[in-house]
Structure 1
Amino acid sequence: MRNLLSGSGRRVWLPGGERVALRAAGPRDRAAVSALYALCAPQPQPGRRAACAWLLSPRMGRGLLAEAAGRRPVAWAGLLSDGTGAELLLLIAPAWWRRGLAGVLLPELLCRAGRFGIAEVWAHGASGDALEAAARRLALPVTADADRTGVTLRG
């Protein structure tokens, strides 16, 4: 399966002036994604290590890891494929909220999703409102679920 980003990825500047490196994430990034999950989860959940391994499996999905100076992971965004659709999962370290990472990761993932034949991306849960707001700021086509528990983005 092809990576979202080829090679070592690329560096981007966030609106606040911070620089992060974006690169394809895979099984070797289990510890980094597990650490981000621990930072972002409201409370530790059993089976986290197994879930992270599953999320990083090239057979199940594709993802991007954002790293700050010193290769410190600050965000991970992943797409779990389901035919022509995919579920979006987004983990951003709390210290990096409101720095524009979602605005960098969303279009990057959606652009590549189209290349893999993914026509629709959905997100559920507490991040739905934040994702909807980010998608609207980026002028991405977005529809909020009727029960407001998630959003659907179409490419």
Structure 2
Amino acid sequence: MHSKIPMPVRIVLAVILIGALAYVGYRTLNDSTNGDLTASGSIEATIVNVSPELAGKVSAVDVEEGSLVAMNDSLLHLDPSLLTAQRAVAAVQVDSANAALASAQTKYDQTLQAALSAQEACVPKIGIVPRPMNLISPYGTSHRPKKSPPHKPKWTPPKLRLMIHS
């Protein structure tokens, strides 16, 4: 047997249903969040990988577990002794390279001077420079080489430089 719901109960249920639909429609049309999802609560991260730009021993931790941090906040300090020692080693290596460069430059200058002296010793010292001879091309025209410009000063080689970029 099928029982009928009394009329006053039907009216109350219809009013509640119409009220609920009106509330949902009003909240949807007057949405002030612009599509943002808002909620309250807390978020817990179980694993966070922190990777510093440099490796080293941690000397101090600036934040406590669970505290709020912002971008570019300092979280920890590294012990500078290792980096200071590495910098000292690099400075010694630079000094050593500069000393090797100076030694190589000195040897280069000495070798060049010896070669130039030997070359000057081979040139006759009477001051007569042989004239260029006439060249005859296979096409039958006579060509003379261009006259050499007046005596130029000795060519000096460029100095060697060591460039270290840090």
Q: TM tier, shorter chain?
A: under 0.3
Query: TM-score, normalization: structure 2?
Result: 0.15
Instruction: Say which structure, 1 or 2, has more relative contact order (CA 8 Å, 6+ apart).
Output: 1
Q: Which has a greater percent of strand?
A: 1
